[in-house]
Amino acid sequence: MASFRDVGERGMIGIIRGAVRPGGDARGMSDDAAVLPGGIVASTDCVTFERHMPEGMGWERFGWTAAAVNISDIASMGARPIAVLAAMALPEDMDSEDIALIASGMDQCAEFAGAHIVGGDTKPGPGVIAGTAIGDMEGRRPMTRDGMRPGDLIAVTGTLGGPAAGFLALGNGIDAPDCVFSLYVPIPRVEEGIALSSTGMVTSCMDLSDGLSTCLNTLCTESGCGAVVEWDLLPVADGVEDVCVSTGTDVRKAVMDWGGEYELLFSFAKADIEGLRASGVEFSVIGIATEEEGAMLRRDGKCERICNGSY
């Protein structure tokens, strides 16, 4: 029998999907978030003390992160966040003031996103925060993962590799404050998501929380097409190359294979590029969707398959 480790997080989605009835009116078991009747969008995701709290992060930024990962999932659909809930399973010997710092951090991220913490639950447990973000599409069409078409341009907001480099910098005593900050304080792209969905021109979208390699493959699989991304077009964050050189890390791994990025990855028809630029969202075109299935990276004139998070 296969363990969770054998199957992987992605694999479990398929197994769980097979174990439950289809979602009725709700779309989006495959998307970052589910779309409910009335245009309400909801997503849940958990973070654990053990895996999501790098050295020096502190409780407040851990709380911010717990909210951000969920808000990002509804932002990538184009929803306006309304409410955040938090179910916390926390060690009984944990200082109540530290728990309040987590709540305050979540609230600060909710405030950034225009939402409120509206409820939650604390229970004795091993150190897990499960957040839920709820948003409103306000009549806009949700941006899902399944609409990319061959010939579409593929783009990302912001820069890539910062959180990975931040993690490496922390572990190796390297001074890279901007990278570390991007690791500590992930910014959900709320206004960008709303502006992009307002154009009605985006054919697919998701956040980069699982890393560019995995996410590109997901868009390709869900949309039934392929993609070629140009290495030279990737907007690598300042400081990433230096940290990678200092730590003997492959820059490509830092930029493409790590998770913890909260930029938006999206696609649109080439003809719509001016319309998208007019939305005011800054983005970098990184590649193009293809007929041939599979996600590819072109670098130094060579084209190779991007595997899910591993070369």
In the window 64-83, what residues touch a copy of itself (CB under 8 A)? Answer: 82-83
Interface with a copy of itself (CB under 8 A), residue total: 82
Applying CB under 8 A, the span of 107-115, 175-183, 237-245, 299-307 interacting with a copy of itself comes to 107-115
Tell me which of 107, 192, 207, 257 binds a copy of itself, using CB under 8 A: 107
269, 282, 278: which is closest to 199 by C-alpha? 278
> Which of 134/169 has CB closer to a copy of itself?
134
Q: Please report where in the chains the tokens 């604390």 appear, as a residue.
A: 122
CB of 168 to a copy of itself, least distance (A): 21
Rounded to 5°, angle at Cα 10 from 13 and 117: 70
306, 129, 290, 288: which is closest to 210 by C-alpha? 306
Asked if residue 303 binds a copy of itself (CB under 8 A), the reply is: no
> Which of 70/159 has CB closer to a copy of itself?
70
Distances (CA, A) of 215 to 93, 114, 271, 290: 38, 27, 24, 16
Asked if residue 137 binds a copy of itself (CB under 8 A), the reply is: no
> Which of 71/243 has CB closer to a copy of itself?
71
Those residues with Cβ within 8 angstroms of residue 189's Cβ, 6 or more apart along the chain or in another chain: 72, 75, 76, 157, 158, 207, 262, 263, 264
Asked if residue 58 binds a copy of itself (CB under 8 A), the reply is: no
> Which of 222/241 has CB closer to a copy of itself?
222
As a whole number of Å, the CA-based R_g of the chain is 19
Asked if residue 139 binds a copy of itself (CB under 8 A), the reply is: no
Tell me which of 96, 301, 302, 310 binds a copy of itself, using CB under 8 A: 96
> Which of 82/215 has CB closer to a copy of itself?
82
CA distance 137 to 122: 30
Those residues with Cβ within 8 angstroms of residue 137's Cβ, 6 or more apart along the chain or in another chain: 35, 39, 40, 41, 77, 78, 79, 80, 197
Tell me which of 57, 71, 79, 90 binds a copy of itself, using CB under 8 A: 90
Asked if residue 37 binds a copy of itself (CB under 8 A), the reply is: yes
CA distance 217 to 305: 10
Asked if residue 86 binds a copy of itself (CB under 8 A), the reply is: yes
Helix (H) or strand (E) holding 9: helix 4-19
Asked if residue 228 binds a copy of itself (CB under 8 A), the reply is: no
> Which of 108/284 has CB closer to a copy of itself?
108
CB of 156 to a copy of itself, least distance (A): 22
CB of 86 to a copy of itself, least distance (A): 7
Asked if residue 45 binds a copy of itself (CB under 8 A), the reply is: yes
Q: Please report where in the chains the tokens 């407040």 appear, as a residue.
A: 60
Sign of torsion over alpha carbons 142, 145, 147, 148: positive
Asked if residue 138 binds a copy of itself (CB under 8 A), the reply is: no
Asked if residue 233 binds a copy of itself (CB under 8 A), the reply is: no
> Which of 93/291 has CB closer to a copy of itself?
93
> Which of 1/248 has CB closer to a copy of itself?
1
Asked if residue 234 binds a copy of itself (CB under 8 A), the reply is: no
130, 133, 111: which is closest to 66 by C-alpha? 130
On whether the CB atoms of residues 236 and 224 are closer than 8 A, the answer is no
